[in-house]
Copies of this chain bind each other. A is one copy, B any other.
């Protein structure tokens, strides 16, 4: 498998964690987002959104959207499971993941921030936008798992929720959010950090890290 990504893309980071947790290997091909390489014609033929990641299978199949890719990995290799088997718990994990994947990440990604700058907003306002989106979203995430047993987001194993949380916390810090305001989230992040699958997926450990 070939994973088209970028070291600092949090959606790529999610897929890297999932691959590691599953013990699946994938060759990485980098597309430098700040240089706009994801908008090259050859890449748009793989991913018409011009976003990373894209998973390319050995027979040339193309799959976009990190959560769809992770669901595919879950079907490809069900164990270790990234979702609880109980349907209700599974959906609660998915709702947590979608809170990050729909309502935090895309509203503070490179593309949106670039558009804000183009509209003439000063850099302080752009950074404040990203910080607010992260802070509000993480507060909702913390509330969603307030009644859940730890130490991970949902119980004693890492799930899709943790896979989405860890990269988002990294983003939040980059925008200056005081993430220690969310002790339950930080506790989950800490148990994840004890796992090689999470550590090895970190942006700074990728071959294209700058």
Q: Which chain A residues have a beta carbon within 8 Å of chain B's beta carbons?
A: 48-51, 61, 63-65, 67-69, 71-72, 75-76, 87-88, 90-92, 94-95, 98-99, 101-103, 105-107, 112, 115, 119, 121, 125, 129, 132, 137, 139-140, 143-144
Contact between A91 and B107 (Cβ–Cβ < 8 Å)?
A: no
A182 to chain B, nearest CB (A): 12
Q: Which of B61, B102, B125 contacts A105 (CB 8 A)?
A: B102
By secondary structure, the A interface counts as helix
Return 11 A-B CB contacts under 8 Å, by A number.
Answer: A48-B140, A50-B140, A51-B103, A63-B92, A64-B95, A71-B91, A72-B91, A75-B91, A102-B105, A115-B129, A119-B121
- Known interface pairs A65-B95, A72-B91, A88-B61; A103-B49 also in contact (CB < 8 Å): yes
A92 to B68, CA, bound (A): 8
Task: Evaluate whether A65 and B106 lie within 8 angstroms (CB atoms) in the complex, with A71-B94, A91-B72, A140-B48 already known.
Answer: no
- The answer to whether A95 touches B119 (Cβ under 8 A) is no
Q: Please give me the 8 A-B residue pairs with the lowest Cβ-Cβ distance, nearest first.
A: A48-B143, A68-B95, A65-B98, A65-B95, A68-B94, A49-B140, A72-B91, A75-B87
Nearest B residue to A92, CB-CB:
B63
Task: Give bound CA distance, A170 to B209, whole Å.
Answer: 41
Task: Return the chain B residue nearest A146 by Cβ.
Answer: B48
**With known contacts A105-B102, A106-B103, A121-B119, A63–B51 Cβ distance under 8 A:** no
For A101, the chain B residues whose CB sits under 8 A away are 98, 102
- Residues of B near A49 (CB, < 8 A) are 99, 103, 137, 140
